[in-house]
A = this chain, B = another copy of it.
Amino acid sequence: MTVQDLHIWQQKASEAHALRDASLAKVDPPLEGIPAPDQLPKNSLDLVSKVLTAREIEITEKYGVTELLQVLRERKISVEEVTRAFLRRAALAQVTINCLTELLWDQAISRAKHLDSLPAPEGVLFGLPISVKEHLGMVGDNVTTSASFAAWVGKPHGSNVLLDSLWAEGCVFIARTTQPQGIMHLETESNVYGRTVHPLDRDRSPGGSSGGESALLGMRGSILGIGGDIGGSIRLPSSNVGVYGFKPSIKRISNAGVRGLYGGRETITGTPGPMTVSRAGLDLVMRVALAHKPWRLDPAISLRPWTPYKFTSPPKVAVQWWDGVVMPHPPMTRALKEVAEACKKAGMEVVDWDCEGLDHQKAWEITAACYWPDGGKELFDLLEETGEPSLPLTKFIINEQKSVKDHTMEQLMKLNSDRDSYRAMYAKAWSATATPTSREVDIILCPPSFGAAPLHEQSRYWGYTSQWNILDYPGAVFPVTQVDPALDRKDEAYQPKNETDRFVWDMYDAEKMKGLPVNLQVIGRRGEEEKVLAALEEIEKAMGRD
C-alpha cells in the first residue's frame, strides 16, 4: 500500500507517528532489550530492570514529588541526570504501553542544562519532570496539537495559562501524552495514536481520557502530570493505575490554551488538574497554579487564591456505598469498608451517603446531554473532514445516550435549568446532613469507578466520576488497595438492578483482576478544593500513612 492509497486520516496519523517516532529516536543511549511488539510481556514493568540502568531505576523509583524536589533543590543530583532518567523510562513506557504523542528529548535536556547552570535553584518546581496530556499545548516553538483528531494533526498551537505557571516555577516538561478520540472516552484509544494499555496488564485499560498520563505514571516514566477532567478523565485513569488525581471545581484552574472541540460550550466544562504518585503533588500544582493569579489572564477564573484548609476537629465523612444505579465490584466495597473503619478509629464521625433519593441516573442523563448540546455534530463534522471513523466508545458516549440531541435555544435553556435545579437539590441535601448534635458532612468517600481497570472497551459507566462534574464538586482519588481474590469474592447471588448494573457486575473476575490497584475518591462541596485535600490528608493519616 502506498501513501496514495491511505485515507486522509491515515496519512495524518502517519504524520503524527513520524513526529512521535522521531522524538523517540533521540533517546541516547537508545533503549536495548525491548522484545518484538508481539512478544511484549503482559506486565510492562517486567521490562524495567532489563532495559534501564540501576541508577535510572533508583532515580525514577526512590522519590516522591516532595523528596525529588528536595534532592534537586539541594543539588544532590543534577536536573539533567534526573531528566535523562525519566526520559528514558518514558521512552520505555511508549514502546511498551503506547502512552506518548511525543517525547520532549531535546527540549527537556536543554531546559535541564539551563536549570543546572543557574547559580542557585529557582522556583518551587525546580527541575521537576512533568508530563502533559497532549491537548494542553506546550511552551516552545513549532508546537502542534491534534487532541488526537486526525484533522488537527500538525495544527500549530501555543502554550497555556497553567503550563506557563508551572514553567515559571522551574519544571522540566518531558513528554506529551495520549488521549482518546474526542477526549471523551474513559479509556484511551484514537485513530491517530492507537490504544494505550495498562502497565500491569496490556489487555486492560489505564482509563481515560488522561490515560496516556496515567499509563506513564503507572510506569513511573513521570511522577507528576497534568490531565483534564469533564467526566472522570483525571480521576478514573488515576484510579485504574493506582496514583493520585485531583479534579478541582471549574473556574479555579484555567482551561485557556487547551485544544478541543466545543469551545464556547457552557452546559458543562472540564478542568485541568494534577495526576501524581504523591499526595503532595496535588496541593503543589494547585498552589502554583493559583499563586500565578490565572484570573488576571483568563476571565473565566474565580478570584480565589489557594487557601489551605486545616481541620480543627476530625472531618465528618459520609460513605457512598453505591450510587443507586450500579453496584461497585467487591474490591471497591472492601476498600470503602477498610477506609471507613480506619476513619472511625481515628475519631471521625462516619455516616452513610444515601444516593437513592438523589437520582444519579437523572444526573447522568443531564450530563450526557450537556456534553453534546449539538448532538455531537461538531465532533462528527471534524471526523468527516478526514474520513476518520468513529470509535466504539465514541458511539457509546454520543449515539447510545438517549438524552443526547441537537438542541434548540429553548431546549438548551431548559437543559441548563434542569441542571441548575439538580445542583440546588443536591446542595440542599448536603446541607441537610447537619443535625442538632452534629455538623454537616465535610466530605463524601466514594468509589471513583465501579471497579479496577476493565478490559478494553468496557468503560461504559461514568456515573461514579461524572456525577461530580455535573455538580461541579471537587474530587480527589487516592490508592487504597489491590484486588485480592481471597478477600474480594464475587457474590454470585447478587441480582443486578438494571441492564447497566448487570453489564458491570458480569465484568468482575477476581482472579483475572488480581493485583490491580483499587482507589477511592474524596468529594467535597462545590468550591471546597482545599477542604478535600485536607480531608484526604486526614484520611490517609487514619490509614497509617504520612
Q: Does A528 contact B (CB under 8 A)?
A: yes
- Bound CA span A374–B410, Å: 7
| CB atoms of A264 and B296 under 8 A apart | no
| CB atoms of A265 and B416 under 8 A apart | yes
Residues of B within 8 A of A412 (CB): 264, 373, 409, 412
Q: Does A76 contact B (CB under 8 A)?
A: no
- Which of the candidate stretches A85-93, A163-171, A218-226, A417-425 sits at the interface with the other chain? A417-425
Tell me which residues from 503 to 531 in chain A have a Cβ below 8 Å from any Cβ of chain B.
525-528
Chain B residue at smallest Cβ distance from A296: B431
Query: Which one of A297, A407, A416, A420 has the highest number of Cβ atoms from chain B below 10 Å of its Cβ?
Result: A420
Chain B residue at smallest Cβ distance from A426: B299
| CB atoms of A410 and B378 under 8 A apart | yes
Q: Does A543 contact B (CB under 8 A)?
A: no
| CB atoms of B472 and A299 under 8 A apart | yes
Residues of B within 8 A of A302 (CB): 251, 302, 304, 527
Size of interface on A: residues with Cβ below 8 Å to B: 45
Q: Does A52 contact B (CB under 8 A)?
A: no
Tell me which residues from 131 to 146 in chain A have a Cβ below 8 Å from any Cβ of chain B.
none
- Bound CA span A374–B412, Å: 10
Q: Does A262 contact B (CB under 8 A)?
A: yes
Q: Say how many copies of this protein the assembly contains.
A: 2
Tell me which residues from 2 to 39 in chain A have a Cβ below 8 Å from any Cβ of chain B.
none
Q: Does A95 contact B (CB under 8 A)?
A: no
- Bound CA span A528–B295, Å: 11
Q: Does A427 contact B (CB under 8 A)?
A: yes
Q: Does A40 contact B (CB under 8 A)?
A: no
Q: Does A406 contact B (CB under 8 A)?
A: yes
| CB atoms of A409 and B373 under 8 A apart | yes
Residues of B within 8 A of A304 (CB): 302-304
- Bound CA span A298–B373, Å: 24
Given contacts A264-B416, A265-B416, A299-B526, 15 further A-B contacts (CB under 8 A): A263-B413, A263-B417, A264-B415, A295-B526, A297-B424, A297-B427, A299-B420, A299-B427, A300-B420, A373-B412, A374-B410, A374-B413, A378-B410, A378-B413, A407-B409
